[in-house]
Chains A and B, each alone.
Chain A
């Protein structure tokens, strides 16, 4: 297969061209009068670029070589290099994949016919977002990187505020914009300091910088803040839930599936610059990662808004990836090759997996919103009957994201677990093994969150009129979901192949390490897992056959569910989303925070009353908001300086003159 791919005309050129095609995909729509034509053209172009780009990326990945080009630009920041090494090409794969799937999905989800005013801009910025990310991973000049980065962030913002008539969307947009801009400020510092270290704005070669000077520490902090804010690592996650919840679903898929990974890419890339980084860096990443995972999934359990739940679980998954990266860094620092390899493999593979199942779920949520007309899980239920196919695909995503065999989520977490257990025999850092139970807890909570999501949306009986008459989604929407579901299954069943996909990226990330481990051994392990998965499926099939045989020979009839003895039971007495997670919330109270407003009931026959509970954004509400209010107050005080009294303005002038005079002499 590789040889066939390498037979292509220079894959790097192909990949970059594909990226550019994606970028221009939205432009025809601006000039075309007929609604929808532009959208269709965009979808076709994006699909084409994916068909070109993904094979090219694979070829580059397995070629294990780095293709470098010099872009001739008119800006005074040194030469602008583009380069595609295995790490870049690894990240290119999900970018092209999700972009294509999303633009296809948009045909059904955001038809131009119904959204005349917004469709054009949406399609345009969607293309820009995709291509900016694709170019980002190839950029090797700090300033160029920064420019592409900002373009990415801004286009994401414009996608996010597509429905800016609603207050919630505007709020989410502003929070996102402020968060991302603050991150960018950190990146300004980062690239300036890198330039100060290496003498030019070209990104330093791998392992060329020493981590000893204090500047390196500042660089590390800036990296963590700047890229962490984009990736949504705690405590920089504040923008993430509302942004993902309020964007159109295929945009959420793009943001969560790929854009967050760009933050991780930044961290990966920056860490490659340094040789033997201090243990502290890995430790910080690990702690931040595992706490993001734990808190993220804890928040997810409490959510009532379907897309917010998915967004919180993105925080969790980013946390898992960051943990893997941190562990790998600690492995590098302590010259513990297997730890480094397993951590990195787990992290990279989880990046790939998350870019399969998270888009699947977000696209699914789009389908659900179409059917039920709401994001509030407590108002849904029983959708599986109306839309069996979507329900099945969504189920695959939910199981996969819980990290349950035989799907892909398990594979990456398995590698991480194995890395932790491996520490037990390691000479140092034995305590890393304690991450395993924490990760297990994360897994358990994930099961709670996603059984909640899946059941309250698809199972039981409808809890509102909106959800009563769902309709199956069209092929344009089901096809991308099916593709992702298939990929989840494939990686789950053939994990050893997925590992081969990741290996080159690891090699480019830490050349000296990856030679020290024998990767084949881990491949074999994953082979056993795929064997067990097959056995599991066969067993299940056997049981099913047996049961059918039994049912065939017996009487089967159907009746309504027993109403638990209620005289007039309504669908409202079902366990809804909130009631399902209520127990978990009460047990994990403190990690999960909820604001519950209970009604005052009095008298023998209290009148109708309602009880409302919603999860709270702890960091945003208790940390960020107070800071802003304080700043507002103090600024308001200082603003009195502009009081309109001109003779006092005159005094300003002469006082300035006087002070400067004193200073001068």
Chain B
């Protein structure tokens, strides 16, 4: 069953490669996405035992990320049917293939407990996304692709060093050398602390740059800004979570090695820096896709702070994986519609969206409200959990900084989004034939509904899942 999770998308990749028709391909994509979603749900209900040797083990943390990725991917696939039908001027073979390969690699990241394999899978996602960013085939997108590829590769390379250091620490400690998470955790207190420390730093920087923590985020606005809406959605809602999952693995290890305090503080500091960075860059942002990219920086910051705070905030971090992923899907898909319809990303030209694209505009507005942490949407739950636990733990300064940057971000986003969706379209704005259709509106709408439901009611199974997951990250004496 676990194997199917990996193989099915690969199969799909092959099929999409063989299919000649650009019209047919997205439908096949959606079919495989649906299959993947089905398998995912099946696995969540009936979880298989860890594979022999413990290489593959779908634990609670993996489940959460797998679920959010699979759901998001499914809706992106549906969206691609309508979207790519409009973009028939160029072949979407590579796009569909890349998406499916990325999905397979992502599934691998979620189910493996072997750090080396984790790294391989993660690097695969990075590479498989590269051609997708270049989908628009213009100077800006090639630049974005180049920066994305090089910075992420270097970052992940650093992560590889970190993993090597861990491995070497086992050798130095003369325990049975292994990169299996469970073995490492078992022998944690024997490992030589010097190497482990260094490893943590390298892993933090490596996965952090993949995740987009400031100041390692520099590739993000370019990549998100220049790639098509659904690729942006996968990057911001999917890949970010994978990197975060890798960070969670490291966190588990830290917990075992009692080195946690440094790691937590580092996370809090980097998270706050990321939020402040995002706040600064979002104010007066004239390109709404770049704005979304910075919002993604903000939200990885939130997750990092939550993880660093520990305690109850862990729940917030884990729930934010879902909340942020789905909401980012809403925003990027609807912004893709807006971008296509105005053929511009500049807020000078994009005005009065509610008039031209009532549905996309409304969804985008709602997504803005959701992502800035207003009820009744899911991000509120996680963000408030973080704030309150910060104050309850007596770390008022962290809480205050957190709130301040949230406030600035809200103001910045409001000043960008509200003039965009409201008012009248300016006379000089380009008019295209692109309008809301059921295929391009339904997916973001469905995601929005999900975000809303999770904002008012967390189903019991999900709640237990989150509880188990946060149990894995509790400090144990």
Residues of A within 8 A of B (CB): 73-76, 143, 146-148, 150-151, 154, 161, 164-165, 167, 170, 173-174, 177-178, 181-182, 185, 188-189, 191-193, 195-196, 201, 631-632, 635-636, 638-639, 641-642, 646, 649-650, 652-653, 656-657, 660-661, 663-665
Whether the pair A76, B315 counts as a contact (CB closer than 8 A) is yes
A181 and B407 contact, Cβ closer than 8 Å, known pairs A76-B458, A146-B375, A150-B374: yes
Segment touching A, from B111-119, B147-155, B335-343: B147-155
Whether the pair B422, A170 counts as a contact (CB closer than 8 A) is yes
Find B392's partner among A182, A192, A649 (CB 8 Å cutoff).
A192
Whether the pair A649, B151 counts as a contact (CB closer than 8 A) is yes
Find B198's partner among A150, A650, A661 (CB 8 Å cutoff).
A661
Not counting A76-B463, A631-B283, A646-B146, a sample of 7 additional A-B residue pairs whose C-beta atoms are within 8 angstroms of each other reads A74-B460, A181-B414, A189-B400, A192-B392, A192-B399, A196-B391, A664-B197
Q: Report the separation of the CA atoms of residues A632 and B266 in the bound assembly, to the nearest whole angstrom.
A: 29
Chain A residue, CB-CB nearest to B285: A639
Q: Report the separation of the CA atoms of residues A73 and B458 in the bound assembly, to the nearest whole angstrom.
A: 8
- B347 CB–A CB distance under 8 Å: no
1/0 contact string of B347-377 vs chain A (CB within 8 Å): 0000000100000000000000100101110
Q: Which of A177, A201, A631, A664 counts the most B-chain CB atoms under 10 A from its CB?
A: A664
Segment touching A, from B17-25, B47-55, B178-186, B200-208: B200-208
- B262 CB–A CB distance under 8 Å: yes
Whether the pair A165, B424 counts as a contact (CB closer than 8 A) is yes
Chain B residue, CB-CB nearest to A166: B423
Segment touching A, from B130-138, B226-234, B382-390: B382-390
Residues of A within 8 A of B403 (CB): 185, 188-189
Find B375's partner among A150, A174, A641 (CB 8 Å cutoff).
A150
Q: Which of B205, B381, B391, B392 counts the most A-chain CB atoms under 10 A from its CB?
A: B391
Tell me the smallest distance from the CB of B281 to a CB of chain A, in Å.
6
- B332 CB–A CB distance under 8 Å: no
Residues of B within 8 A of A642 (CB): 218, 221, 281
Chain A residue, CB-CB nearest to B316: A76
Residues of B within 8 A of A173 (CB): 418, 422
Whether the pair B411, A178 counts as a contact (CB closer than 8 A) is yes
In residues 137-162 of chain B, which contact A (Cβ within 8 Å)? 146-147, 150-151, 154-155, 158
Residues of B within 8 A of A (CB): 146-147, 150-151, 154-155, 158, 197-198, 200-202, 204-205, 208-209, 215-216, 218-219, 221, 262, 266, 280-281, 283-284, 315, 354, 369, 372, 374-376, 380-381, 384-385, 387-388, 390-392, 394, 399-400, 403, 406-408, 410-411, 414-415, 418-419, 422-424, 456-460, 463
Residues of A within 8 A of B394 (CB): 196
Tell me the smallest distance from the CB of A215 to a CB of chain B, in Å.
9
Tell me the smallest distance from the CB of A326 to a CB of chain B, in Å.
27
A182 and B407 contact, Cβ closer than 8 Å, known pairs A74-B457, A635-B283, A661-B201: yes
Whether the pair B422, A189 counts as a contact (CB closer than 8 A) is no
Q: Report the separation of the CA atoms of residues A74 and B458 in the bound assembly, to the nearest whole angstrom.
A: 5
Tell me the smallest distance from the CB of A536 to a CB of chain B, in Å.
51
Find B262's partner among A191, A632, A638, A663 (CB 8 Å cutoff).
A663
Whether the pair A185, B407 counts as a contact (CB closer than 8 A) is yes
Whether the pair B422, A147 counts as a contact (CB closer than 8 A) is no
Please list 22 pairs of residues, one from A and one from B, whose beta carbons are closer than 8 Å in the complex, sorted by A's number: A74-B456, A147-B376, A150-B380, A154-B369, A161-B422, A170-B422, A173-B418, A178-B414, A181-B372, A181-B410, A189-B399, A192-B391, A196-B392, A636-B284, A639-B280, A639-B281, A642-B221, A653-B155, A657-B205, A660-B266, A664-B198, A664-B262
Whether the pair B219, A649 counts as a contact (CB closer than 8 A) is yes
Q: Report the separation of the CA atoms of residues A165 and B424 in the bound assembly, to the nearest whole angstrom.
A: 6
Whether the pair A653, B391 counts as a contact (CB closer than 8 A) is no
Whether the pair A177, B414 counts as a contact (CB closer than 8 A) is yes
Find A653's partner among B216, B284, B375 (CB 8 Å cutoff).
B216
Residues of B within 8 A of A631 (CB): 283, 408
Q: Report the separation of the CA atoms of residues A146 and B380 in the bound assembly, to the nearest whole angstrom.
A: 10
Whether the pair B410, A653 counts as a contact (CB closer than 8 A) is no
Chain A interface, >50% SS class: helix
Chain A residue, CB-CB nearest to B463: A74
Residues of A within 8 A of B221 (CB): 642
Residues of B within 8 A of A652 (CB): 215-216, 218
A653 and B283 contact, Cβ closer than 8 Å, known pairs A76-B315, A170-B418, A188-B388: no
Q: Which of A167, A189, A193 counts the most B-chain CB atoms under 10 A from its CB?
A: A189
A635 and B280 contact, Cβ closer than 8 Å, known pairs A150-B375, A656-B205, A663-B262: yes
Q: Report the separation of the CA atoms of residues A143 and B208 in the bound assembly, to the nearest whole angstrom.
A: 32
Tell me the smallest distance from the CB of B166 to a CB of chain A, in Å.
14
A653 and B411 contact, Cβ closer than 8 Å, known pairs A150-B380, A639-B280, A646-B151: no
Q: Report the separation of the CA atoms of residues A181 and B383 in the bound assembly, to the nearest whole angstrom.
A: 14
Tell me the smallest distance from the CB of B417 to a CB of chain A, in Å.
10
Whether the pair B463, A653 counts as a contact (CB closer than 8 A) is no
Whether the pair A660, B388 counts as a contact (CB closer than 8 A) is no
Residues of B within 8 A of A174 (CB): 414-415, 418
Q: Report the separation of the CA atoms of residues A650 and B218 in the bound assembly, to the nearest whole angstrom.
A: 9
Tell me the smallest distance from the CB of B448 to a CB of chain A, in Å.
15
A650 and B151 contact, Cβ closer than 8 Å, known pairs A75-B458, A188-B384, A192-B391: yes
Q: Report the separation of the CA atoms of residues A150 and B375 in the bound assembly, to the nearest whole angstrom.
A: 6
Residues of B within 8 A of A663 (CB): 262, 266
Tell me the smallest distance from the CB of B440 to a CB of chain A, in Å.
21
Q: Report the separation of the CA atoms of residues A201 and B392 in the bound assembly, to the nearest whole angstrom.
A: 11
Residues of B within 8 A of A664 (CB): 197-198, 200-201, 262
Tell me the smallest distance from the CB of A239 to a CB of chain B, in Å.
13
Whether the pair B424, A646 counts as a contact (CB closer than 8 A) is no
Residues of B within 8 A of A636 (CB): 284
Q: Which of B200, B209, B280, B457 counts the most A-chain CB atoms under 10 A from its CB?
A: B280
Find B284's partner among A143, A164, A635 (CB 8 Å cutoff).
A635
A660 and B380 contact, Cβ closer than 8 Å, known pairs A76-B315, A147-B375, A642-B221: no
Tell me the smallest distance from the CB of B1 to a CB of chain A, in Å.
29
Residues of A within 8 A of B201 (CB): 657, 660-661, 664
Q: Report the separation of the CA atoms of residues A148 and B457 in the bound assembly, to the nearest whole angstrom.
A: 14
Residues of B within 8 A of A164 (CB): 354, 422-423
Tell me the smallest distance from the CB of A164 to a CB of chain B, in Å.
4
Tell me the smallest distance from the CB of B33 to a CB of chain A, in Å.
28
